[in-house]
Amino acid sequence: MNSATIERNWLFDPSLLKLVHQCRRLIQSEFGVKLHLNEADLAEHLAEYAAKTRSTHLVHTWEALKQRVPELSAETEEESVAPRMYRGQPIAESQQVKGSSEGEPCPRQKKVIYRGQVVG
């Protein structure tokens, strides 16, 4: 018996399997991704989508599953925090504008035209 099978024995519990199926259904309905039970990194995918979701129901279901299976929280907490994304691009958290000190408003880099008039 390999180590992956030993680690996934919790999937044989019907009540836990019900929570996993519920998470999978919610992920498929929101993200259009069908997760399979035989995937090696199923727990990581569930945690990843639970972190991205807007559905509170998925978050609560994932938290209930993590509370009942302590191995899941240990596996998913090891991962580093993903950078915040906007339209597929990472958002720079600590971006400093050159030449400006604290308290001064940032000068505009280009002129803004609104309805044919230069604004500000």
- Asked if the structure places residue 19 within a domain, the reply is yes
Structural domains counted in the chain = 1
Pairing of strands 85-86, 89-90: antiparallel
Contact 29, 61 (CB under 8 A): no
- Asked if the structure places residue 53 within a domain, the reply is yes
Contact 35, 45 (CB under 8 A): yes
Is the per-residue pLDDT at 114 higher than 70?
A: yes
Residue span of the structural domain in which 55 resides: 3-82
Cα–Cα distance for residue pair 55/25, rounded to 1 Å? 12
Show the tokens assigned to 50. 């639970």
Task: Say whether pTM exceeds 0.95.
Answer: no
Question: Can you tell me which residue has the tokens 């609560």?
Answer: 60
Pairing of strands 112-114, 89-90: unpaired
Strand partners, 118: 113
- Asked if the structure places residue 50 within a domain, the reply is yes
- Mind listing the pLDDT tens digit for each residue in 17-76? 999 999 999 999 999 999 998 888 888 899 899 988 888 999 999 999 999 988 877 665
- Asked if the structure places residue 94 within a domain, the reply is no
**Which residues fall within 8 angstroms of residue 118, CB to CB, at 6 or more apart?**
111, 112
Question: What average pLDDT does the segment 85-98 reach?
Answer: 68
- Asked if the structure places residue 22 within a domain, the reply is yes
